[in-house]
Amino acid sequence: MSQNIKHDCENCPVHNKANLVRLGINPENVDFIIALAGNPNTGKSTVFNNFTGLKQHTGNWPGKTVSRAEGGYIFNDKKYKVVDLPGTYSLLSTSTDEEVARNFILFGQPDVTVIVTDATRLERNLNLALQILEITDRAVLCLNLMDEARRNNIKIDIRALSRELGIPVIPASARSREGMDELLLAIEEVASGKYVCRPHKIKSKSAGLNHAISEISGQLMAHFPGLPNATWVAMRLLEGDSSIIEAIRSGHLGSLSPDREVTQPV
Amino acid sequence: MESFSDQQSREEIISSANRARWELGVNFHDTVIESIYEDASRIARKTVVVEGGREAYSTDIAIDKIVTSRWLGFPIMFLLLALVFWLTVAGANYPSGLLANLLIDKFLPVLHSLGDWLHMPSWLTGVLFDGAYLALAWVVAVMLPPMAIFFPMFTLLEDLGYLPRVAFNMDSLFRRAGAHGKQALTMSMGFGCNAAGVVAARVIDSPRERLIAIITNNFSLCNGRWPTQILIATIFIGSMVPAAWAGLVSAGAVVTIAVTGIVFSLVVSWGLSKTVLKGEASAFSLELPPYRPPRLMQTLYTSLIDRTIFVLWRAMVFAMPAGVVIWLVANIHVGDQSIAEHFIHWANPFALFFGLNGVILLAYIIAIPANEIVIPTILMLTVLSANIVRAGAGTGVMFELDSLEDTAGILRQGGWTLLTGVNLMLFSLLHNPCSTTIYTIYKETGSMKWTMLATFLPIVMGLIICFFTTQIWHLYHI
């Protein structure tokens, strides 16, 4: 008899530990691709291990993920591939680890980019988050290390932060798995289009700059229809980023953008 | 097919961007960065509140002031290292004896009677049981207990956030040596595994500084070499002092070797940056992560799975073929002596000149695939060349060793002295990287030249250091 009575918790979409199937390494034919980006030592690899069941070595150690690691999981019958990117402070310079992260978000076109941030150092972490929101429209902010923030009497207004950034913000402390279910759910909602992000875009005060950006992004769109982040590419082009110039010169940029198959290797 | 006009219009996009860049002026990059920082700070002000009067992380800052201070930073570092080794030395002896008793004294005869029952030919039981199995049993008995104690403690320190402080302390030394400050990080990684340290050098952007970090990583004592150091220090150095002090003194000796490695790392970096890899050190910023209380159970679990089992597995994989090789070189006779005896007798005069012996050289040749099997190989070869043969067993069979005292006895019978022990510790620090690391260096640098330098430089240095140690020793002791 008692099995007929469904507990409220079970109806709540957050009650879904059973819905998570960890796939470990090498998932195939995935529905969505998720990128984990963020500053060094914010716990990206811990989130990655939580999702995939893999045992990527984690450590209290900035810069321990040098190249990207990949794994997979199934959540609510959808197959996800997760890519753990090296931690970076920005996407604007040219060091190897930053290029790996930037090129993946830009050209790998993940369906959702999870920005893992350190709740105790939010301002510095937001610098990178804002740069990521310049390149991609679909992102979730994982406000990690909330346990430490609490210990240090740091309070964060989650709703206001989400409103400012225009993306879901999930407080978490990945080490103790707190907030992981909510994060999986937020990723699902953004990936499936249930939640439409309206990401914060940086507005420059320079009119000349804005004019140049819109002109060049217009040219880019004409040549590469469907290019998802023309504004950002235009900005990088204005800065003289040699890898972007090369991608345009060879036409490589175009082949990466339109109608990408999710099953394709990235 | 791509038309010419496509290519032309792409070039047009690039050139119009170039024109705009000139019109906008040089401060364009700064404008963009400024607006990002402005927005980030505005959002943070709106959403973050720090409650209470106490500054966030005031405890962390207070601790950091001590552990990274000019005067206390290094002593604290050495004391922590010594504590870890002391606990390892003190804790590993008993389980080692227990494992040896179980795997060798109890189980080997079982295997032999199984072989008899199956009417296996003696060369087959020799290769399988006295070669492959014994090497395996030795690796487990000698390596497992120290690793199971050392790695979890090391991982706890890492989890706590202490390693970046080590890097912070070392940073200015590395910069003065003309290397990148981040080399302190890759060096610390090398204490775990040199191959991992070499890969980690990717965090260094400048190719010059990255090469220096790769070439000098081998001077960090790796997982595979810690047990050798701990064992030899216990047998030869700890035994010189009263038993109560033995653990502490052996731990001190291991720390001395590790610190010698760091000194070599700095000196060689300096030498390289003054000669073949000339240049200035570039600046970088290192963020000290907050201290985090380590999750005890998870740390124990991951260090057991990630490190202990991994290193042990690697050692076992390499030990079995090495065991076969050892049995074969000990049992295939050319003339009146086995191949091993030929080599040992031939190499002895040369090796003794450096304060080592033929057994050690042969062991290092057999053990190129993995540093982990050096000690078991040395023991097996010593038993053989000193003709300490167990009653009823053939040549190339391990003696039964229930405790460190037995191991020490065997080595002494093989002609080992304190000097041999010290030189082995030095040579274990200064010799070629294992084959995995050599391959990784080749993959990372893509250059045969630098791979060869990274391989042979430490051997040459090791022989020179052992030579001088021996000469100075003889000067004062004879």
What digits encode the pLDDT tens for the residues B293-324? 777 777 777 777 766 777 677 777 878 888 88
- Looking at residue B444, its amino acid is E
Burial of A11 (0-12, 13-18, 19+ CB in 10 A): exposed
Report how far residue B423's alpha carbon sits from residue B473's, in angstroms, rounded to the nearest whole number.
11
Q: pLDDT tens across A52-83, in order?
A: 887 665 554 454 555 567 888 888 888 998 98
**Residue among B1, B3, B10, B50 with most chain A CBs within 10 A, to mutate:** B10
- The partner residues of A141 in beta bridges, in order of sequence, read A115, A169
**pLDDT for the residue numbered A243:** 74
Q: What is the pLDDT of residue B200?
A: 75
**Alpha carbon B423 to chain centroid distance?**
17
Distance CA B203, CA B396 (A): 46
Assigned token pair, B432: 């070629």
B30 in reach of chain A (CB within 8 A): no
The Cα–Cα gap between A114 and A186 comes to: 10
Asked whether the beta carbons of residue A55 and residue B302 sit closer than 8 angstroms, the reply is yes
Which residue of B16, B40, B57 is in closest CB contact with A126? B40
Q: Is residue B296 within 8 angstroms of chain A, CB to CB?
A: no
Indicate yes or no: CB of A209 within 8 angstroms of CB of B29.
no
ipTM attached to this prediction:
0.78
d(CA B114, CA B125): 10
3-class secondary structure per residue, chain B: CCCHHHHHHHHHHHHHHHHHHHHHCCCHHHHHHHHHHHHHHHHHHHHEEECCCCCCCHHHHHHHHHHCCCCCHHHHHHHHHHHHHHHHHHHHHHHHHHHHHHHHHHHHHHHHHHHHHCCCCHHHHHHHHHHHHHHHHHHHHHHHHHHHHHHHHHHHHHHHCCHHHHHHHHHHHHHHCCCCCCHHHHHHHHCCCHHHHHHHHHHCCCHHHHHHHHHHHHHCCCCCCHHHHHHHHHHHHHHHCCHHHHHHHHHHHHHHHHHHHHHHHHHHHHHHHHCCCCCCCCCCCCCCCCCCCCCHHHHHHHHHHHHHHHHHHHHHHHHHHHHHHHHHHHHCEECCEEHHHHHHHHHHHHHHHCCCCHHHHHHHHHCCCCHHHHHHHHHHHHHHHCCCCCCCCCCCCCCCCCCHHHHHHHHHHCCCCHHHHHHHHHHHHCCCCCHHHHHHHHHHHCCHHHHHHHHHHHHHHHHHHHHHHHHHHHHHHC
Which of the pair, B56 or B440, is modelled with greater confidence?
B440
Per-residue pLDDT tens digits for B231-243: 888 888 888 888 8
β-strand pairing of A112-118 with A78-84: unpaired
pLDDT in tens, B449-477: 999 999 999 999 999 999 999 999 988 87
In this prediction, residue B339 has a pLDDT band, given cuts at 50, 70 and 90, of confident
Provide the whole-model pTM.
0.66
Say if residues A69 and A47 touch (Cβ distance below 8 Å).
no
pLDDT in tens, B83-133: 887 887 778 778 877 888 888 888 888 998 998 899 888 888 888 888 888
Residue in B with minimal Cα distance to A153: B51
The first and second tokens of residue B279, run together, are 């240049």
Q: How far apart are CA A185 and CA A76, in angstroms?
A: 9
Q: Which residue has the tokens 């990207």?
A: A68
CB A112 within 8 A of CB A138: yes
- DSSP structural state of residue A70: E
pLDDT confidence of residue B404: 63
pLDDT at A122 over 50: yes
Q: How confident is the model at residue B425 (pLDDT cuts 50, 70, 90)?
A: very high
B261 vs B21, residue with greater confidence: B261
> With 70 as the cut, is the pLDDT of residue B75 above it?
yes
A238, A248, A250, A255, best to mutate vs chain B, most B CBs in 10 Å: A238
d(CA A252, CA B5): 16
Interface of B with A in 151-190 (CB under 8 A): 158-161, 163-164, 182, 185
Q: Do A55 and B40 touch (CB under 8 A)?
A: no
Residue A72 pairs with which residues in a beta bridge?
A24, A81
H or E segment and range at residue A112:
strand A112-118
Of B14, B32, B292, the CB nearest to A249: B14
The answer to whether B252 and B82 have CB atoms below 8 angstroms apart is yes
Name the burial class of residue B55, with classes exposed (0-12), middle (13-18) and buried (19+) by CB atoms within 10 angstroms of its CB. exposed
* Per-residue pLDDT, B460: 93
A141 touches A108 (CB < 8 A): no
What token pair was written down for B119?
């009417």
Strands A69-75 and A20-24: antiparallel
Residue B388, pLDDT score: 45
Q: Output the pLDDT for position B300.
A: 79
Alpha-carbon gap, residue B294 to B422, rounded angstroms? 36
Which of the residue ranges A30-39, A151-160, A220-229, B341-350 would you say has the lowest mean pLDDT?
Answer: A220-229
How much is the mean pLDDT over chain B?
A: 81
DSSP state of A174: G
Q: What is the pLDDT averaged over residues A149-157?
A: 88
- Side chain identity at A134, as an amino acid letter? E
H helix runs in A68-144, sequence order: 96-103, 122-135
State residue B464 phi and psi, 5-degree precision.
-65, -45
| Residue A100: pLDDT over 80 | no
DSSP A85: P
A178 DSSP assignment: B
Chain A interface mutation, best of B1, B32, B302, highest count of A Cβ atoms under 10 Å: B32
Would you place residue A263 in the very low, low, confident or very high pLDDT band (cuts 50, 70, 90)? very low
Length of chain B: 478
Other CB atoms within a 10 A radius of the CB of residue A3 amount to 5
**pLDDT > 70 in chain A, percent:** 77
SS3 A258: coil
Nearest-CA distance A118 → chain B (Å):
11
Q: How far is residue B381's CA from residue B375's CA, in Å, rounded to a whole number?
A: 10
Would the CB atoms of A251 and B185 count as touching at under 8 Å?
Answer: no
CB A86 within 8 A of CB A97: yes
Is A15's pLDDT higher than 70?
A: no
Q: Where are the domains of chain B?
A: 4-67, 77-476
In chain A, whose CA is at the least distance from the CA of B18? A238
**A178–chain B nearest CA distance, Å:** 15
Q: Residue window 38-57, chain B: list those with CB within 8 Å of chain A.
A: 39-41, 43-44, 46-52, 54, 56-57
Measured on CA atoms in the order B281, A94, B37, A109, is the torsion positive or negative? negative
Q: How many CB atoms lie within 10 A of CB A18?
A: 7
Residue B170 vs residue B472, higher pLDDT: B472
- The SS3 assignment for A199 reads coil
Do A204 and B31 make contact, defined as CB atoms within 8 angstroms? yes
